[in-house]
Amino acid sequence: MAVTSAETQQERRLAMVNSQLRTGDVVDREVLAAFLETPRERFVAPDFVALAYLDREVPARGAKVRQLLPPLSLARMLQAAAVKAGDRALDVGGGSGYGAALLDYMGAKVVALESDAGAAAAARQELAGKPNVEVVEDPLDGGAAHLGPFDVIVVEGAFRLCPKALLSQLADGGRLVGVDASGVTSQVALYEKSAEGVSRRALFETTAEVLDGFQPGVSFAF
């Protein structure tokens, strides 16, 4: 597919914000501004650039397996996470760095954790020059404890196992948002840490690929 002009991509970004995000209950001005100003086409696999602003998963640039979440799902997740300037954020499984770029625009200090080597390399390239973003190539389920604790953790995919290691890396008052696929239906859930422990609240139903490290092991019966 041919790469479209920068002007056309800007028009598509504006259409995405107006026709997808605003009509999908995304009202946070910082979230809307981040999506309007961050060029998603830079983070999409080259053959899928023309699909960059559709509300669908697309392969991440450089990735072997990683997909970028649909814009509306990611926007609603970031809105629920209540990202504030200065927050320490961990972006888990964000592929080529689109989610990390959004968090950076919103003023967070970001650790982008990716296990897909090609996607991590693309993220380093696309996020170069952003001093508040660090790309770490490591297993997703282990998090990045040595760089935490984190005020915000965004899991850009689904988990069938409770992300215990990630939850343990939340700061007091920290929020984790991701797609909980452990039940009958997959739903975005928000976890919040307080002095009383960690609470969980279901937000909306959606689907996403289960991230590596968050699938139950295969068992055999004889």
Lookup: tokens for 48: 């899928």
CATH code linked to domain 56-205: 3.40.50.150
pLDDT at residue number 220: 40
Q: Can you say how many angstroms the Cα of residue 139 is from the centroid of all Cα atoms in its chain?
A: 16
* pLDDT at residue 190 in the model: 98
> Domain residues of the chain, as ranges?
56-205
Model confidence band, residue 7 (pLDDT cutoffs 50, 70, 90): confident
Percentage of residues of the chain with pLDDT beyond 90:
92
What is the per-residue pLDDT across 104-155, written as a single tens digit (0 to 9) for each?
999 999 999 999 999 999 999 999 999 999 999 999 999 999 999 999 999 9
pTM of the model: 0.93
Residue 44 backbone zone (phi > 0: left; psi -120 to 50: alpha; other: beta)? beta
Which residues neighbour 99 within 8 Å (Cβ) at sequence distance 6 or greater?
A: 68, 69, 74, 78, 91, 112, 154, 156
Q: Provide the pLDDT for residue 1.
A: 40
**For residue 65, what are its two tokens?**
């397996």
Question: Coil, helix or strand for 161?
Answer: coil
pLDDT given for residue 4 in this prediction = 56
